[in-house]
Amino acid sequence: MDTTREFNFDGLVGPSHNYAGLSFGNVASFSNVKSMSNPKQAALQGLAKMRALAARGFAQALLPPQLRPDFRLLRSIGFGGSDADVLARAAREAPVILACAYSAAPMWSANAATVSPSADTMDGRVHFTVANLNSKLHRSYEQTQTARALRSIFRDGTRFAVHDALPATPAFGDEGAANHTRLCAAHGAAGVELFVYGRVEFDAAALAPQRFPARQTLEASQAVARLHGLQPQRTVYVQQDPAAIDQGVFHNDVIAVGNGNVLLYHQQAFLDESAVITALQHALADAGTELQPIRVASSQVPVADAVASYLFNSQLLSKSDGRMALVVPQECQENPAVARYLQGLVASGGPVDELISFDLRQSMRNGGGPACLRLRVALSAAEAAAMHQGVVMTESLYASLVAWVGRHYRDRLAPQDLADPLLAIEIQAALEELGMILGLPELYAF
């Protein structure tokens, strides 16, 4: 009997959760620049989602927040002296870079790495490639702490391989699992890995968006597949529709989501829709199953509504009865076109027969929904037992983390607060305690 389960590793929102609007191309993030945030509420909303899904029997874990501010960034560009001196000068001379050093973006763990389960890889190990995120300054510094965290959680080198990020050049722009989907008959069966890219570095004739940047390259996707030892006949590369990117679809997980053999996608998700579906059908046939595409037409849900509601930035989860639940942000119920579509989807008799809605407004205002918050890792029973257990969501861990948030998080954080050296001290103390709670003290011992 196959005991492989898909774990969702949600990013635990850190104490520096703030709205800096640093991500050009992410409409929600950009539209809330410099507004007041509530780190405490953000963390509690994320924890509530984790707890609820774990209580439903879904495999749920977390990735710890990263240390902020990132003094490595600030000192590397000439801000010296004491920590307080660094913050004061950066606030005066380069407030946007100070905001980058305080970025809350690591909470979106879908960008932490690309993951291939052992059923897909040539050496039979679970492979992780840390995303370089080099299209944005505020995210490009995440990779060091991400690799540190993944290697602490997945320490057994006989079962897990954690690869360093790809070279930090435009040719290898890599955004992690936000542009990657795995389709399969079952989590433990050999599957098809779908890589979605926005541009081609070494083909000047290839189409590309004109308004917003394409963050993922074909070359990066191909490199990740090589590192993971994937089977070519079950690896599919497709281009995102440049017109969709220019409407705010900065990652594929804003316009499509897959699980099992189901792909829920918007008709404007891919540059050549029919070719994508045909390629997936052939690849899945090789893997022993049949694709179940669910196409959402523009007449049903315009791209603007998909972006505003984050309909596709949802989680498709396999239930014990063989059907699927769709985890959506509350905003989907508040958008008339999207709510109408979802009612029809659940009533259609198709594979998705349940909606689960969460209030994630703090994350949504910063540009990330349920899918952004989680990294999917399919693990056999032996692999699950081999990973660090302190990050697996339980009622006990939930209670400890809620109490920890209550002790350490502010309920208001304004842009000017980033210059306050006391905030940096508060965050360091909070994360050192978190390391002890999770049994990973080494994460915050710099």
Question: Per the domain annotation, does 320 fall within a domain?
Answer: yes
Catalytic residue, candidates 6, 175, 193, 219: 175
Question: Per the domain annotation, does 277 fall within a domain?
Answer: yes
| Predicted pLDDT at 412 | 95
| Distance between CA atoms of residues 14 and 2, nearest Å | 36
CA 398 to chain centre: 21
The pLDDT tens digits for 222-231 are 999 999 999 9
- Average of per-residue pLDDT across 72-86: 97
Question: Per the domain annotation, does 257 fall within a domain?
Answer: yes
Query: Is 332 a residue of the active site?
Result: no
The pLDDT tens digits for 131-164 are 999 999 999 999 999 999 999 999 999 999 999 9
Secondary structure (DSSP) of 191-240: -EEEEEESB-TT-TTS---SSS----BHHHHHHHHHHHTB-GGGEEEEEB
The pTM of the full predicted model, rounded to 2 decimals, is 0.96
Is a pLDDT exceeding 70 seen at residue 27?
A: no
**pLDDT confidence bin for 436, thresholds 50/70/90:** very high
Edge-to-edge order in the sheet of strand 235-239: 180-183, 192-197, 235-239
**pLDDT confidence bin for 62, thresholds 50/70/90:** very high
Beta bridge partners of 161: 127
Nearest to 410 by CA among 29, 68, 33: 68
| Predicted pLDDT at 26 | 46
Catalytic residue, candidates 228, 251, 266, 408: 251
Give the range of the structural domain holding residue 36, as residue numbers without chain letter. 5-68+103-444
The pLDDT tens digits for 338-373 are 999 999 999 999 999 999 999 999 999 888 899 999
Catalytic residue, candidates 100, 184, 332, 372: 372
| Predicted pLDDT at 366 | 82
Beta bridge partners of 247: none
| Predicted pLDDT at 31 | 53
- The total number of structural domains in the chain stands at 1
Helix (H) or strand (E) holding 273: helix 273-286
Query: Is 175 a residue of the active site?
Result: yes
Question: Per the domain annotation, does 85 fall within a domain?
Answer: no
The pLDDT tens digits for 264-287 are 999 999 999 999 999 999 999 999
Is a pLDDT exceeding 60 seen at residue 25?
A: no
Query: Is 372 a residue of the active site?
Result: yes
Question: Per the domain annotation, does 88 fall within a domain?
Answer: no
| Predicted pLDDT at 35 | 76
CATH code (residue 369) = 3.75.10.20
